[in-house]
Amino acid sequence: EVQLVESGGGLVQPGGSLRLSCAASGFTFSSYWMSWVRQVPGKGLEWVANIKKDGSEKYYVDSVKGRFTISRDNAKNSLYLQMNSLRAEDTAVYYCARDTGAFEIWGQGTMVTVSS
């Protein structure tokens, strides 16, 4: 079964850091671009970042450039999102997704809350 499972969310203070992980199974992880997409509860979806199959190219939405870093470990079938200098407006459910342009497969999401 093709599956993505996120972890690492939680409560963090403004200015703090958090690292999200996404474990992939059921497909050849190294053959796909991967993305992070977030959603403020009750609101719409926002693409955050993506990374090429081999990790050689990375792209970000403007609002997280310089603060978030996407990475992957193909040997571990894992995707990561390092989030630094967190702000209240980063509060959201963060999903990892298999990226073929459209987002084919989604994880169940992990909640990140930035609050003092």
Partner 1 sequence: EIVLTQSPGTLSLSPGERATLSCRASQSVSSSYLAWYQQKPGQAPRLLIYGASSRATGIPDRFSGSGSGTDFTLTISRLEPEDFAVYYCQQYGSSKTFGQGTKVEIK
* 104 is a site residue for partner 1 (CB under 8 A): yes
Sign of the dihedral through C-alpha 7, 104, 24, 70 = negative
* 33 is a site residue for partner 1 (CB under 8 A): no
Which 3-state string (H, E, C) describes 96-107? EEEEECEEEEEC
Question: Count residues contacting partner 1 (CB under 8 A)?
Answer: 19
Q: With CB under 8 A as the contact rule, which of the stretches 10-18, 45-53, 72-80, 81-89 interacts with partner 1?
A: 45-53
Query: Which member of 45, 73, 85, 88 binds partner 1 (CB under 8 A)?
Result: 45
Taking alpha carbons only, the member of 92, 87, 112 closest to residue 11 is 112
Query: Which member of 46, 58, 82, 91 binds partner 1 (CB under 8 A)?
Result: 46
Contact 48, 64 (CB under 8 A): yes
Tokens 């200015």 sit at which residue?
15
Query: Which member of 8, 9, 53, 61 binds partner 1 (CB under 8 A)?
Result: 61
